[in-house]
Amino acid sequence: MRKITNICCIGAGYVGGPTMAVVAKQCPDIKVTIVDLNEARIAAWNDPDVNNIPVYEPGLSEVVAEARGRNLFFSTDVDQAIAEAEMVFISVNTPTKTYGSGKGMGADLKWIELCARQIARVSTSDKIIVEKSTLPVRTAEAVRDILHNTGSGVKFQVLSNPEFLAEGTAVEDLLSPDRVLIGGDDSEEGQEAIAALVDVYANWIPRERILTTNVWSSELSKLVANAFLAQRISSINAISELCEKTEANINEVSRAIGTDSRIGPKFLKASVGFGGSCFQKDILNLVYISRSFGLQEVADYWEQVIIMNNHQRKRFALNIVKSLYNTVSGKKIAFLGWAFKKDTNDTRESAAIYVADELLNEQAFIQVYDPKVQTEQIYHDLEYLETRSVESNRNGVSVYQDPYEACDGAHAIAVLTEWDEFKNYDWQKIYAKMLKPAKIFDGRNVLDHKALREIGFQVNGIGV
Protein backbone atom coordinates (compact mmCIF):
# COMPACT_ATOMS: atom_id res chain seq x y z
CA MET A 1 0.00 0.00 0.00
CA ARG A 2 1.14 3.49 -0.87
CA LYS A 3 2.41 5.53 2.11
CA ILE A 4 1.50 9.16 1.75
CA THR A 5 4.34 11.67 2.22
CA ASN A 6 3.01 14.74 0.42
CA ILE A 7 -0.45 16.27 0.85
CA CYS A 8 -1.91 19.37 -0.77
CA CYS A 9 -5.11 21.03 0.45
CA ILE A 10 -6.94 23.46 -1.80
CA GLY A 11 -8.72 26.06 0.34
CA ALA A 12 -7.18 27.73 3.41
CA GLY A 13 -10.48 28.58 5.11
CA TYR A 14 -12.14 27.61 8.39
CA VAL A 15 -11.91 23.93 7.48
CA GLY A 16 -8.78 23.61 5.32
CA GLY A 17 -6.60 25.67 7.68
CA PRO A 18 -7.32 23.98 11.03
CA THR A 19 -7.77 20.48 9.57
CA MET A 20 -4.49 20.44 7.71
CA ALA A 21 -2.62 22.18 10.52
CA VAL A 22 -3.64 19.30 12.79
CA VAL A 23 -2.69 16.69 10.15
CA ALA A 24 0.74 18.34 9.90
CA LYS A 25 1.13 18.46 13.68
CA GLN A 26 0.21 14.80 14.09
CA CYS A 27 2.12 13.51 11.04
CA PRO A 28 5.57 15.17 11.04
CA ASP A 29 6.68 12.87 8.20
CA ILE A 30 4.07 14.19 5.81
CA LYS A 31 4.63 17.48 3.99
CA VAL A 32 1.35 19.39 4.02
CA THR A 33 0.86 22.41 1.75
CA ILE A 34 -2.32 24.46 2.03
CA VAL A 35 -3.01 26.59 -1.01
CA ASP A 36 -5.53 29.32 -1.73
CA LEU A 37 -6.22 31.87 -4.46
CA ASN A 38 -6.79 34.50 -1.81
CA GLU A 39 -3.38 36.12 -1.37
CA ALA A 40 -4.33 38.13 1.71
CA ARG A 41 -5.54 34.97 3.45
CA ILE A 42 -2.32 33.09 2.68
CA ALA A 43 -0.25 36.09 3.81
CA ALA A 44 -2.16 36.08 7.10
CA TRP A 45 -1.53 32.34 7.60
CA ASN A 46 2.17 33.09 7.01
CA ASP A 47 2.24 36.12 9.33
CA PRO A 48 5.34 35.88 11.54
CA ASP A 49 3.10 36.73 14.50
CA VAL A 50 1.09 33.56 14.77
CA ASN A 51 -1.69 35.42 16.60
CA ASN A 52 -2.56 37.10 13.29
CA ILE A 53 -3.63 33.92 11.46
CA PRO A 54 -7.00 34.52 9.79
CA VAL A 55 -9.05 31.95 11.72
CA TYR A 56 -9.57 32.39 15.44
CA GLU A 57 -9.89 29.02 17.19
CA PRO A 58 -8.72 28.18 20.72
CA GLY A 59 -5.40 26.31 20.48
CA LEU A 60 -4.96 26.81 16.73
CA SER A 61 -2.11 29.33 16.83
CA GLU A 62 -0.09 26.89 18.97
CA VAL A 63 -0.64 24.08 16.44
CA VAL A 64 0.37 26.35 13.56
CA ALA A 65 3.42 27.61 15.47
CA GLU A 66 4.58 24.04 16.00
CA ALA A 67 4.20 22.77 12.43
CA ARG A 68 4.58 25.83 10.20
CA GLY A 69 7.88 25.84 8.33
CA ARG A 70 8.58 22.27 9.51
CA ASN A 71 6.11 20.26 7.45
CA LEU A 72 3.23 22.74 7.13
CA PHE A 73 3.29 25.35 4.38
CA PHE A 74 0.84 27.96 3.11
CA SER A 75 1.13 29.06 -0.51
CA THR A 76 -0.66 30.67 -3.44
CA ASP A 77 1.15 28.45 -5.92
CA VAL A 78 -1.76 26.08 -6.39
CA ASP A 79 -0.41 24.33 -9.50
CA GLN A 80 2.91 23.41 -7.98
CA ALA A 81 1.41 22.08 -4.75
CA ILE A 82 -1.09 19.93 -6.67
CA ALA A 83 1.59 18.62 -9.02
CA GLU A 84 3.86 17.53 -6.16
CA ALA A 85 1.17 15.94 -3.98
CA GLU A 86 0.13 12.28 -3.79
CA MET A 87 -3.12 13.21 -2.07
CA VAL A 88 -5.13 16.39 -2.76
CA PHE A 89 -7.85 17.55 -0.38
CA ILE A 90 -10.50 19.85 -1.80
CA SER A 91 -11.69 22.15 0.97
CA VAL A 92 -13.15 25.07 -0.94
CA ASN A 93 -16.41 26.86 -0.24
CA THR A 94 -19.68 25.35 -1.47
CA PRO A 95 -22.24 28.09 -0.75
CA THR A 96 -25.90 28.09 -1.66
CA LYS A 97 -26.41 29.02 -5.31
CA THR A 98 -27.41 32.67 -5.80
CA TYR A 99 -28.42 32.49 -9.47
CA GLY A 100 -30.06 30.28 -12.09
CA SER A 101 -31.63 26.90 -11.43
CA GLY A 102 -31.45 25.84 -7.81
CA LYS A 103 -31.04 29.49 -6.75
CA GLY A 104 -31.37 29.84 -2.99
CA MET A 105 -31.46 26.07 -2.48
CA GLY A 106 -28.83 23.95 -4.20
CA ALA A 107 -25.07 24.07 -3.63
CA ASP A 108 -22.95 26.16 -5.98
CA LEU A 109 -20.31 23.67 -7.14
CA LYS A 110 -18.47 26.17 -9.31
CA TRP A 111 -15.37 26.14 -7.10
CA ILE A 112 -15.34 22.34 -6.84
CA GLU A 113 -15.47 22.00 -10.59
CA LEU A 114 -12.67 24.55 -11.02
CA CYS A 115 -10.53 22.55 -8.59
CA ALA A 116 -11.22 19.30 -10.45
CA ARG A 117 -10.28 20.92 -13.76
CA GLN A 118 -7.13 22.43 -12.28
CA ILE A 119 -6.08 19.08 -10.81
CA ALA A 120 -6.75 17.43 -14.18
CA ARG A 121 -4.66 20.07 -15.96
CA VAL A 122 -1.55 20.08 -13.81
CA SER A 123 -1.24 16.44 -12.70
CA THR A 124 1.50 14.28 -14.18
CA SER A 125 1.38 11.53 -11.53
CA ASP A 126 -1.45 9.39 -10.07
CA LYS A 127 -3.30 11.01 -7.17
CA ILE A 128 -5.93 10.40 -4.55
CA ILE A 129 -8.46 13.24 -4.50
CA VAL A 130 -10.29 13.78 -1.22
CA GLU A 131 -13.53 15.73 -1.03
CA LYS A 132 -13.30 17.54 2.30
CA SER A 133 -15.87 20.21 1.38
CA THR A 134 -19.50 19.36 2.15
CA LEU A 135 -21.06 18.26 -1.10
CA PRO A 136 -24.43 17.06 -2.36
CA VAL A 137 -24.75 13.31 -2.68
CA ARG A 138 -23.30 12.11 -6.01
CA THR A 139 -20.93 15.07 -6.51
CA ALA A 140 -17.97 12.69 -6.65
CA GLU A 141 -19.45 11.49 -9.93
CA ALA A 142 -18.94 14.89 -11.53
CA VAL A 143 -15.43 15.20 -10.10
CA ARG A 144 -14.57 11.73 -11.42
CA ASP A 145 -16.03 12.53 -14.80
CA ILE A 146 -13.68 15.49 -15.19
CA LEU A 147 -10.65 13.65 -13.83
CA HIS A 148 -11.17 10.45 -15.81
CA ASN A 149 -11.42 12.25 -19.12
CA THR A 150 -8.16 14.16 -19.20
CA GLY A 151 -6.58 11.79 -21.75
CA SER A 152 -3.26 12.20 -19.91
CA GLY A 153 -3.09 8.63 -18.62
CA VAL A 154 -2.87 9.88 -15.01
CA LYS A 155 -5.10 7.84 -12.67
CA PHE A 156 -7.24 9.38 -9.93
CA GLN A 157 -9.21 7.90 -7.07
CA VAL A 158 -11.90 10.10 -5.55
CA LEU A 159 -12.72 9.74 -1.85
CA SER A 160 -15.29 11.51 0.28
CA ASN A 161 -14.01 12.54 3.72
CA PRO A 162 -16.45 15.08 5.15
CA GLU A 163 -15.42 17.19 8.11
CA PHE A 164 -17.46 17.22 11.33
CA LEU A 165 -15.55 19.83 13.34
CA ALA A 166 -17.53 22.60 14.98
CA GLU A 167 -16.10 26.10 15.04
CA GLY A 168 -14.90 27.25 18.44
CA THR A 169 -13.80 23.70 19.27
CA ALA A 170 -12.10 22.86 15.96
CA VAL A 171 -8.72 21.84 17.35
CA GLU A 172 -10.24 19.69 20.07
CA ASP A 173 -12.64 18.08 17.57
CA LEU A 174 -9.81 17.38 15.11
CA LEU A 175 -7.50 15.90 17.73
CA SER A 176 -10.20 13.70 19.20
CA PRO A 177 -13.12 13.28 16.79
CA ASP A 178 -16.14 11.07 17.53
CA ARG A 179 -15.42 9.51 14.16
CA VAL A 180 -13.69 10.05 10.86
CA LEU A 181 -15.74 9.11 7.82
CA ILE A 182 -14.14 7.96 4.58
CA GLY A 183 -16.16 6.95 1.55
CA GLY A 184 -14.59 5.30 -1.48
CA ASP A 185 -15.05 2.89 -4.35
CA ASP A 186 -15.59 -0.81 -3.93
CA SER A 187 -12.88 -1.55 -6.50
CA GLU A 188 -9.41 -2.71 -5.50
CA GLU A 189 -7.96 0.72 -6.34
CA GLY A 190 -10.75 2.39 -4.36
CA GLN A 191 -10.04 0.23 -1.32
CA GLU A 192 -6.32 1.00 -1.59
CA ALA A 193 -7.03 4.72 -1.65
CA ILE A 194 -9.26 4.37 1.42
CA ALA A 195 -6.50 2.45 3.19
CA ALA A 196 -3.97 5.19 2.39
CA LEU A 197 -6.20 7.85 3.95
CA VAL A 198 -7.05 5.63 6.94
CA ASP A 199 -3.31 5.31 7.47
CA VAL A 200 -2.89 9.09 7.67
CA TYR A 201 -5.60 9.46 10.33
CA ALA A 202 -4.42 6.36 12.19
CA ASN A 203 -1.36 8.38 13.23
CA TRP A 204 -3.51 9.75 16.04
CA ILE A 205 -7.06 8.41 15.80
CA PRO A 206 -7.98 4.90 17.03
CA ARG A 207 -8.87 2.69 14.04
CA GLU A 208 -12.30 1.82 15.42
CA ARG A 209 -13.27 5.48 15.14
CA ILE A 210 -12.43 5.56 11.42
CA LEU A 211 -15.55 4.51 9.52
CA THR A 212 -15.43 3.52 5.87
CA THR A 213 -18.44 3.46 3.55
CA ASN A 214 -19.24 3.86 -0.11
CA VAL A 215 -18.82 7.37 -1.50
CA TRP A 216 -22.53 8.15 -1.68
CA SER A 217 -23.24 7.17 1.94
CA SER A 218 -20.36 9.35 3.05
CA GLU A 219 -21.51 12.39 1.06
CA LEU A 220 -25.09 12.00 2.26
CA SER A 221 -24.15 11.32 5.91
CA LYS A 222 -22.54 14.75 6.19
CA LEU A 223 -25.72 16.53 5.12
CA VAL A 224 -27.81 14.30 7.37
CA ALA A 225 -25.59 14.86 10.43
CA ASN A 226 -25.99 18.63 10.08
CA ALA A 227 -29.72 18.30 9.41
CA PHE A 228 -30.20 16.22 12.58
CA LEU A 229 -28.19 18.64 14.70
CA ALA A 230 -30.06 21.68 13.37
CA GLN A 231 -33.37 19.86 13.76
CA ARG A 232 -32.74 19.45 17.48
CA ILE A 233 -32.19 23.20 17.81
CA SER A 234 -35.34 24.05 15.87
CA SER A 235 -37.26 21.51 17.93
CA ILE A 236 -36.18 23.01 21.24
CA ASN A 237 -36.69 26.54 19.90
CA ALA A 238 -40.24 25.65 18.85
CA ILE A 239 -40.90 24.46 22.39
CA SER A 240 -39.33 27.66 23.79
CA GLU A 241 -42.15 29.68 22.26
CA LEU A 242 -44.68 27.39 23.86
CA CYS A 243 -42.86 27.76 27.20
CA GLU A 244 -43.26 31.52 27.01
CA LYS A 245 -47.04 31.07 26.83
CA THR A 246 -47.36 28.41 29.51
CA GLU A 247 -44.88 29.38 32.25
CA ALA A 248 -42.92 26.21 31.61
CA ASN A 249 -39.18 26.92 31.57
CA ILE A 250 -37.21 25.76 28.53
CA ASN A 251 -34.02 25.18 30.53
CA GLU A 252 -35.92 22.84 32.83
CA VAL A 253 -37.61 21.12 29.90
CA SER A 254 -34.25 20.62 28.16
CA ARG A 255 -32.76 19.10 31.28
CA ALA A 256 -35.79 16.91 31.86
CA ILE A 257 -35.81 15.45 28.36
CA GLY A 258 -32.01 15.43 27.91
CA THR A 259 -31.50 13.05 30.83
CA ASP A 260 -33.31 10.38 28.81
CA SER A 261 -30.30 8.53 27.41
CA ARG A 262 -32.16 7.97 24.14
CA ILE A 263 -32.49 11.75 23.66
CA GLY A 264 -29.21 12.89 25.27
CA PRO A 265 -28.36 16.36 26.65
CA LYS A 266 -26.46 17.96 23.76
CA PHE A 267 -27.86 20.43 21.24
CA LEU A 268 -30.89 21.21 23.36
CA LYS A 269 -29.96 24.80 24.18
CA ALA A 270 -32.73 27.17 23.15
CA SER A 271 -31.41 30.25 21.39
CA VAL A 272 -32.13 33.19 19.14
CA GLY A 273 -31.61 30.70 16.29
CA PHE A 274 -28.74 28.74 14.86
CA GLY A 275 -26.24 30.36 12.54
CA GLY A 276 -23.00 29.35 10.89
CA SER A 277 -22.07 28.76 7.32
CA CYS A 278 -23.34 25.22 7.11
CA PHE A 279 -26.59 24.25 8.84
CA GLN A 280 -28.85 26.31 6.62
CA LYS A 281 -26.86 25.64 3.45
CA ASP A 282 -26.70 21.90 4.01
CA ILE A 283 -30.37 21.54 4.88
CA LEU A 284 -31.38 23.61 1.86
CA ASN A 285 -29.25 21.25 -0.14
CA LEU A 286 -30.99 18.22 1.32
CA VAL A 287 -34.36 19.81 0.58
CA TYR A 288 -33.32 20.62 -2.98
CA ILE A 289 -32.02 17.13 -3.66
CA SER A 290 -35.15 15.53 -2.18
CA ARG A 291 -37.38 17.77 -4.27
CA SER A 292 -35.38 17.05 -7.41
CA PHE A 293 -36.19 13.35 -6.87
CA GLY A 294 -39.89 14.24 -6.41
CA LEU A 295 -39.81 13.50 -2.67
CA GLN A 296 -42.09 16.36 -1.58
CA GLU A 297 -42.86 15.09 1.93
CA VAL A 298 -39.18 14.49 2.66
CA ALA A 299 -38.29 17.95 1.36
CA ASP A 300 -41.08 19.67 3.31
CA TYR A 301 -40.13 17.85 6.50
CA TRP A 302 -36.55 19.13 6.49
CA GLU A 303 -37.46 22.57 5.18
CA GLN A 304 -39.48 23.12 8.33
CA VAL A 305 -36.20 23.20 10.31
CA ILE A 306 -35.19 26.34 8.40
CA ILE A 307 -38.64 27.89 8.57
CA MET A 308 -38.62 27.46 12.36
CA ASN A 309 -35.14 29.01 12.61
CA ASN A 310 -36.16 32.06 10.58
CA HIS A 311 -39.21 32.42 12.79
CA GLN A 312 -37.12 32.25 15.97
CA ARG A 313 -34.79 35.05 14.82
CA LYS A 314 -37.67 37.22 13.71
CA ARG A 315 -39.74 36.75 16.82
CA PHE A 316 -36.71 37.68 18.97
CA ALA A 317 -36.41 40.98 17.09
CA LEU A 318 -40.13 41.68 17.16
CA ASN A 319 -40.24 40.93 20.86
CA ILE A 320 -37.70 43.70 21.43
CA VAL A 321 -39.88 46.12 19.46
CA LYS A 322 -43.01 45.07 21.31
CA SER A 323 -41.38 45.38 24.74
CA LEU A 324 -40.11 48.85 23.89
CA TYR A 325 -43.70 50.06 23.56
CA ASN A 326 -44.03 49.03 19.90
CA THR A 327 -41.37 51.35 18.59
CA VAL A 328 -37.59 51.32 18.53
CA SER A 329 -37.36 54.25 16.16
CA GLY A 330 -34.41 56.38 17.25
CA LYS A 331 -33.73 54.11 20.24
CA LYS A 332 -30.33 52.63 21.01
CA ILE A 333 -30.12 48.86 21.25
CA ALA A 334 -26.79 47.43 22.39
CA PHE A 335 -25.80 44.09 20.84
CA LEU A 336 -23.51 41.90 22.90
CA GLY A 337 -22.02 39.48 20.40
CA TRP A 338 -22.10 39.29 16.63
CA ALA A 339 -20.36 35.94 15.93
CA PHE A 340 -22.66 32.98 15.25
CA LYS A 341 -21.40 31.25 18.41
CA LYS A 342 -18.75 31.86 21.05
CA ASP A 343 -15.03 31.29 20.56
CA THR A 344 -15.03 32.05 16.85
CA ASN A 345 -14.65 35.19 14.76
CA ASP A 346 -16.91 33.68 12.09
CA THR A 347 -20.16 35.58 11.51
CA ARG A 348 -21.62 33.72 8.55
CA GLU A 349 -25.41 33.40 8.88
CA SER A 350 -25.20 34.67 12.45
CA ALA A 351 -28.60 35.35 14.02
CA ALA A 352 -27.22 38.79 14.99
CA ILE A 353 -27.22 39.88 11.34
CA TYR A 354 -30.89 39.09 10.86
CA VAL A 355 -31.98 40.56 14.17
CA ALA A 356 -30.05 43.75 13.36
CA ASP A 357 -31.62 43.89 9.91
CA GLU A 358 -35.10 43.63 11.40
CA LEU A 359 -34.38 46.36 13.99
CA LEU A 360 -32.82 48.66 11.38
CA ASN A 361 -36.06 48.35 9.42
CA GLU A 362 -37.71 49.69 12.56
CA GLN A 363 -35.23 52.61 12.58
CA ALA A 364 -33.32 51.56 15.69
CA PHE A 365 -29.68 52.53 16.33
CA ILE A 366 -27.55 49.50 17.04
CA GLN A 367 -24.37 49.59 19.13
CA VAL A 368 -22.39 46.39 18.69
CA TYR A 369 -19.66 44.86 20.79
CA ASP A 370 -18.07 41.51 19.97
CA PRO A 371 -14.71 40.45 21.41
CA LYS A 372 -13.42 38.85 18.19
CA VAL A 373 -15.32 40.19 15.19
CA GLN A 374 -13.82 43.06 13.22
CA THR A 375 -15.81 46.21 12.56
CA GLU A 376 -15.72 45.99 8.77
CA GLN A 377 -17.02 42.42 8.92
CA ILE A 378 -20.16 43.64 10.67
CA TYR A 379 -20.89 46.22 7.98
CA HIS A 380 -20.04 43.71 5.29
CA ASP A 381 -22.55 41.20 6.75
CA LEU A 382 -25.32 43.79 6.63
CA GLU A 383 -24.39 44.98 3.15
CA TYR A 384 -24.54 41.39 1.92
CA LEU A 385 -28.28 41.32 2.68
CA GLU A 386 -28.83 44.29 0.35
CA THR A 387 -31.79 45.47 2.44
CA ARG A 388 -30.76 49.15 2.41
CA SER A 389 -27.97 51.43 1.25
CA VAL A 390 -24.42 51.05 2.54
CA GLU A 391 -24.74 54.50 4.06
CA SER A 392 -27.93 53.66 5.95
CA ASN A 393 -26.28 50.59 7.48
CA ARG A 394 -23.30 52.68 8.58
CA ASN A 395 -25.56 55.38 10.01
CA GLY A 396 -27.65 52.84 11.88
CA VAL A 397 -24.88 50.71 13.36
CA SER A 398 -21.89 51.70 15.51
CA VAL A 399 -19.25 49.23 16.56
CA TYR A 400 -17.43 49.47 19.90
CA GLN A 401 -14.28 47.88 21.29
CA ASP A 402 -15.55 48.23 24.84
CA PRO A 403 -18.78 46.57 26.02
CA TYR A 404 -19.52 49.27 28.59
CA GLU A 405 -19.39 51.96 25.91
CA ALA A 406 -21.65 49.88 23.66
CA CYS A 407 -24.27 49.76 26.42
CA ASP A 408 -23.94 53.45 27.34
CA GLY A 409 -27.24 55.28 26.89
CA ALA A 410 -29.01 52.19 25.50
CA HIS A 411 -32.71 51.49 25.94
CA ALA A 412 -32.07 47.77 25.76
CA ILE A 413 -29.33 45.15 25.49
CA ALA A 414 -29.64 42.10 23.27
CA VAL A 415 -27.32 39.15 23.86
CA LEU A 416 -26.73 37.50 20.50
CA THR A 417 -23.68 35.31 21.20
CA GLU A 418 -22.93 33.28 24.31
CA TRP A 419 -19.41 34.65 24.97
CA ASP A 420 -18.35 33.65 28.50
CA GLU A 421 -17.06 37.13 29.33
CA PHE A 422 -20.61 38.55 29.28
CA LYS A 423 -21.39 36.69 32.51
CA ASN A 424 -18.62 38.48 34.38
CA TYR A 425 -19.40 42.08 33.48
CA ASP A 426 -20.12 44.67 36.14
CA TRP A 427 -23.85 44.71 35.45
CA GLN A 428 -24.50 47.30 38.12
CA LYS A 429 -22.22 49.69 36.23
CA ILE A 430 -23.97 48.92 32.94
CA TYR A 431 -27.37 49.44 34.54
CA ALA A 432 -26.37 52.84 35.85
CA LYS A 433 -25.57 54.10 32.35
CA MET A 434 -28.70 52.83 30.59
CA LEU A 435 -32.06 54.50 30.02
CA LYS A 436 -34.78 53.23 32.34
CA PRO A 437 -36.55 50.91 32.39
CA ALA A 438 -33.37 49.08 31.39
CA LYS A 439 -34.20 45.97 29.41
CA ILE A 440 -32.16 42.90 28.56
CA PHE A 441 -33.09 40.37 25.89
CA ASP A 442 -30.91 37.35 26.53
CA GLY A 443 -30.99 35.44 23.24
CA ARG A 444 -28.73 32.74 24.67
CA ASN A 445 -29.99 32.39 28.25
CA VAL A 446 -26.43 32.88 29.46
CA LEU A 447 -26.81 35.65 32.02
CA ASP A 448 -27.91 35.32 35.65
CA HIS A 449 -31.46 36.60 35.25
CA LYS A 450 -32.23 36.60 38.96
CA ALA A 451 -29.18 38.75 39.78
CA LEU A 452 -30.01 41.13 36.92
CA ARG A 453 -33.57 41.56 38.15
CA GLU A 454 -32.26 42.35 41.61
CA ILE A 455 -30.21 45.17 40.10
CA GLY A 456 -33.37 46.50 38.45
CA PHE A 457 -33.18 45.18 34.89
CA GLN A 458 -36.28 43.91 33.11
CA VAL A 459 -35.10 40.61 31.67
CA ASN A 460 -36.49 38.56 28.78
CA GLY A 461 -34.87 35.24 27.98
CA ILE A 462 -35.74 32.56 25.46
CA GLY A 463 -38.47 30.23 26.68
CA VAL A 464 -38.18 31.33 30.27
Ligand X SMILES: O=C(O)[C@H]1O[C@H](OP(=O)(O)OP(=O)(O)OC[C@H]2O[C@@H](n3ccc(=O)[nH]c3=O)[C@H](O)[C@@H]2O)[C@H](O)[C@@H](O)[C@@H]1O
Residues marked active site are found at 278
Task: Pick one of 11, 54, 184, 275: the residue that binds ligand X (CB under 6 A).
Answer: 275
Residues in the chain, how many?
464
- Residue 193 is assigned to a ligand binding site: no
**Sequence-distant (≥ 6) Cβ neighbours of residue 38 within 8 angstroms:** 12
Question: Can residue 276 be called a binding residue for ligand X (CB under 6 A)?
Answer: yes
Whose Cβ is closer to ligand X: residue 74's or residue 279's?
Answer: 279
Nearest to 415 by CA among 365, 449, 376: 449
Q: Which does 269 bind (CB under 5 to 8 A by kind): ligand NAI, ligand X, none?
A: ligand X
- 288 is in the binding site of which of ligand NAI, ligand X, none (Cβ under 5 to 8 A by kind)? none
Q: How far is the CB of 315 from ligand NAI (least distance, A)?
A: 27
CB of 150 to ligand NAI, least distance (A): 17
Give buried/exposed letters for 413-434 (b at 16+ CB in 10 A, else e): bbbbbbbeebeeeebeebbeeb
Q: Does 109 bind ligand X (CB under 6 A)?
A: no
> Which of 208, 205, 143, 207 is CA-nearest to residue 174?
205
Cα–Cα dist 59/289, whole Å: 37
**Cα–Cα distances in angstroms (integers) from residue 107 to residues 96, 104, 119, 295, 354, in the given order:** 5, 9, 21, 18, 22
User: Is 133 annotated for ligand binding?
Assistant: yes
Q: Which stretch binds ligand X (CB under 6 A): 24-32, 271-279, 372-380, 424-432?
A: 271-279
Site for ligand X in 323-382 (CB under 6 A): 340-341
Q: Residue 224, annotated ligand binder?
A: yes
> Does 274 help bind ligand X (rule: CB under 6 A)?
yes
Site for ligand X in 192-221 (CB under 6 A): none
- Of 34, 109, 205, 268, the one binding ligand X by CB under 6 A: 268
What are all long-range contacts of 52-56, with beta carbons under 8 Å and residues at least 24 apart? 53/17, 54/12, 54/17, 55/13, 55/14, 55/17, 55/18, 55/345, 55/346, 56/343, 56/344, 56/345, 56/372
Task: Tell me how far apart the alpha carbons of residues 156 and 422 are, in angstroms, rounded to a whole number.
Answer: 51
**Chain CA centroid to CA 356, Å:** 20
- Residue 114 interaction partner, one of ligand X, ligand NAI, none, beta carbon < 5-8 Å per kind: ligand NAI
447 labeled binding residue? no
Interaction site with ligand NAI (CB under 6 A)? 10-16, 35-38, 41, 78, 91-94, 111, 114-115, 133-134, 163, 165, 167, 277-278
Give min distance, CB of 377 to ligand X, in A.
Answer: 16
Residue 74 beta carbon to ligand NAI: minimum distance, rounded to whole angstroms: 11
Among 287, 289, 193, 154, residue whose Cα is nearest residue 231: 287
Q: In what order do the strands lie in the sheet with 365-369?
A: 397-400, 365-369, 332-336, 412-415, 439-442, 458-460
In the window 130-149, what residues touch ligand X (CB under 6 A)?
A: 134
| Contacting residues toward ligand X, per CB under 6 A | 134, 163-167, 226, 229, 233, 267-269, 271, 274-279, 340-341
Task: Give binding residues for NAD(+) as ranges.
Answer: 11-16, 36, 41, 92-96, 133-134, 167, 278-281, 348
